[in-house]
Amino acid sequence: MTIQLYRFVSADRSGRIAWLLHEMKLDFETVELDARNSEHHEEEFLSLSPAGTIPAVVDGDDVLFESGAALHHLAERYGGGKIAPLADDSDRAAYVSWLYFASASLDPLCFAFVNPILSEEFRQSRREYARRRVGRMLDATERRLDERETVLKRGFTTADIQLTAALDYARAGGCLDDRPRLQHYVETMKARPAARRAEAFTE
C-alpha cells in the first residue's frame, strides 16, 4: 500500500518527510489540506493527527504525526540500518540525541523566524527570545560539525534532515550570518538530489 503524506496547500514541514522518502526511493502520494478552511481541524484528520498538525503520515495500518517521529520510524523501517542506525548500533545514541535535539529544541525555537501567522508585536518578542536562546545551540551544532560533514561521521542520516530544516529557519532569522560552517552544511545538505526533489514538491 502506498504511503500517504498529509501536507498543507501552503508551506509546511512536510517537505522533510518527502526528502526522506526520496532518499529511500519510496513511492508516496500526498493528501493536501487547506488550512484557510481549517481542514486540519476536521474530525477525519484529527483521527490521524490528534492536535491537527501537519505533517502526518499513513503507512498501511500505521499512522504517524510529529515530523521527527515520522522521520525516525520511516527511516528505521525502510532504511536498512543505513539512514537511521538501529538499536544495537554504536552510533544509535548520538543519532537519536541529535534527531531529538533538532526536533524538540532547535526547530520550535527557530520557527519563530519564519512563522507568518504571528502578530507583528508578538513576532518581535518571539524572535528576540529565540535569538537570545539559540546561540548556545548553534555553538553546540557548530562544534559537532567541526570535524564531520554530517551529524554522524559514517554519513548522512535522518538527523541531518531535521537539523537542516531547523538551521534553515535560523538562517532565515540571520542567525547563521557569522557561522560559515553551518551555512555550508545547510547548503550541502539542501543540494542533495532528494532534498531538491522535496523542495520542488513544497513550492
Ligand X SMILES: N[C@@H](CCC(=O)N[C@@H](CS)C(=O)NCC(=O)O)C(=O)O
Binding site for ligand X (CB under 6 A): 12-13, 40, 52-55, 66-68
Whether the CB-CB separation of 104 and 79 falls below 8 Å is answered with: no
Find the shortest distance in angstroms from Cβ 169 to ligand X: 11
In the complex, minimum distance from the CB of residue 104 to ligand X, in angstroms, rounded to a whole number: 8
- Residue closer to ligand X (CB basis): 13 or 171: 13
Query: Toward ligand X, which CB reaches closer, 188 or 202?
Result: 202
* Least separation in angstroms between CB 103 and ligand X: 6
Q: 54 or 186, CB closer to ligand X?
A: 54
Question: Rounded to the nearest whole angstrom, what is the least distance from the CB of residue 78 to ligand X in the complex?
Answer: 19
Cβ(114)–Cβ(172) below 8 Å = yes
Amino acid at 17: I
C-alpha to C-alpha distance for 148 and 198, rounded to whole angstroms: 24
Helices 180-190 and 158-172 pack at an angle, to 10 degrees, of: 120
Q: Which residues contact 178 (CB under 8 A, 6 or more apart)?
A: none
Q: Which is nearer to ligand X, 173 or 179 (CB)?
A: 173
Number of residues assigned to the chain: 203
Backbone angles phi, psi at 189, to 5 degrees: -65, -40
